[in-house]
Amino acid sequence: MSRIFLGRGLESEANIYLDASKSRAVLICGKRGSGKSYTMGVSIEELHRSADVTILVVDPMGIFHTMSLPNSEQESIVWDWGDSPRALPVKVIVPGDPVERYGGSDIVQEMERRGVEFRALAVNPSDVSPESWCDSFGTSINEPMGIALMKAIRRCRQKYGKEGYFISEIASEVLVDPRANDRTIDALVNRLEMANQWGIFASDRYRELSEVLDPNSVNVLDLSVIDSGRYGRRGLILSVLCRDLFRKRSVARRREELGLAPSKRKFWLLIDEAHQFAPVGRSALGKEDLIRWVKEGRQPGLSLVVASQQPSAIDGEILSQCDAILSHALTTSDDKTALNRLTKDYMKNEIKAYINQLARTGQAVFVDDDAENIEVIQIRPRTSKPGGSEA
Ligand SMILES: Nc1ncnc2c1ncn2[C@@H]1O[C@H](COP(=O)(O)OP(=O)(O)O)[C@@H](O)[C@H]1O
Ligand SMILES: [Mg+2]
């Protein structure tokens, strides 16, 4: 059975595990600096060690590449826990050209020297739905610009097939739209040209997105190099990836069930600072895809881990799907209340009461709906180097 070793119970002194042999949805929360990213790193190490799964980490802060180094700084605590510091194989997936994104070839070379391997990600314009284009351009499919875009994409599909067109083909179709007025055409073509300059789109051939993922490495999608800006580019990338992986995994699952193929690897998606992608009370690119991932992804074998300093800022549909929670210290009452809503019958007290017991960094309340257990635990030390300590 594949299981994730998380740490030790403060009261029970027992080793605490999360069963990872089936699909899970896990929430990691806690105030700034309480150890969320560290704990996410522990989960990644364990998934890599013990579970036969493909791992994708969505990293808006650009901190997970340090997993390619051993955790030498905390060597003695790691030994206390009967383990030793260890480097992991890390692939850093960068939307666009790594040298350009990081701002210098010396940076890329130094990261490579530390064991990181880079993979460039190019989003296929034909994988972007008309709705997502509209969201990226701040319009909707009911407005003239959205309508013209939708028609242009439909014509591209007819002419070039699902995988054979790029932004310039879409723009060409917009230019010859007989029903759209000049202002609409100008505005839309402008936006398409701008999108081309984001440097994240494929412009010559269709690339399978899943090709960039290495099943034997920790795949880190570094979104820190992309503006979180108003166009929601980070969300767009996540959305396209989620949909592609969901589709692939569903097809693979169908084959497995019909005995047409041996079972393939399951998939774990881990998202740090997840409130960016699934904010409460407003739409965001990628949000619907994440909701679908947790709601419908279990059966085909998709798991999700989200970390956020503000559980109250994460969409309720995602929170309510979480079957395990690791909560570090929380301070605001909104956040404690959001978490408390997830209290279940089997708990003797409300989650809040456990959170108030947390005394130091690295401690967390672990709620496991699957095992119907709640307990305060000490998270085990990282064997690979944790990133993101403040300068
Ligand atoms: N379980 C732990 N054991 C030892 N040090 C930890 C542990 N959890 C967190 N830390 C340390 O605490 C600091 C903050 O952790 P971090 O994961 O970056 O917090 P967050 O993501 O919640 O802002 C880091 O310097 C990290 O090394
Ligand atoms: Mg963090």
Domain map of the chain by residue range? 3-123+217-379, 126-196
Residue nearest to atom 14 of ligand 1 (CA): 33
29 alpha carbon to ligand 1 midpoint, in Å?
12
Instruction: List all residues whose CB is within 6 A of at least one atom of ligand 1.
Output: 30, 32-38, 361-362, 379, 381, 386, 388-389
Tokens coding 182: 């000049």
- Cβ distance 241 to 208 under 8 Å? no
Work out which ligand 1 atom sits closest to the CA atom of 31.
Answer: 22
Residue nearest to atom 1 of ligand 1 (CA): 362
95 alpha carbon to ligand 1 midpoint, in Å?
27
Q: Which ligand is nearest to the CA of 361?
A: 1
pTM of the model: 0.96
From first to last of its 391 residues, the chain has per-residue pLDDT tens of: 689 999 999 999 999 999 999 999 999 999 999 999 999 999 999 999 987 899 999 999 999 999 999 999 999 999 999 999 999 999 999 999 999 999 999 999 999 999 999 999 999 999 999 999 999 998 999 999 999 999 999 999 999 998 999 999 999 999 999 999 999 999 999 999 999 999 999 999 998 888 899 999 999 999 999 987 767 899 999 999 999 999 999 999 999 999 998 877 899 999 999 999 999 999 899 999 999 999 999 999 999 999 999 999 999 999 999 999 999 999 999 999 999 988 888 888 889 999 999 999 999 999 999 999 999 999 999 999 999 876 6
Q: Choose one of 27, 37, 38, 63 to mutate for the ligand 1 pocket test, by most ligand atoms within 8 angstroms of C-beta.
A: 38
256 alpha carbon to ligand 2 midpoint, in Å?
37
- CATH code matching the domain that covers 3-123+217-379, chosen among 3.40.1380.20, 3.60.21.10, 3.40.640.10, 3.40.50.300: 3.40.50.300
33 alpha carbon to ligand 1 midpoint, in Å?
6
Q: Which ligand is nearest to the CA of 309?
A: 1
Q: Which ligand is nearest to the CA of 380?
A: 1
Q: Order across the sheet with 266-271: list the strands.
A: 15-19, 3-9, 373-379, 363-368, 324-327, 25-29, 302-308, 266-271, 53-59, 218-222, 90-95, 116-121
Host H or E run for residue 249: helix 233-257
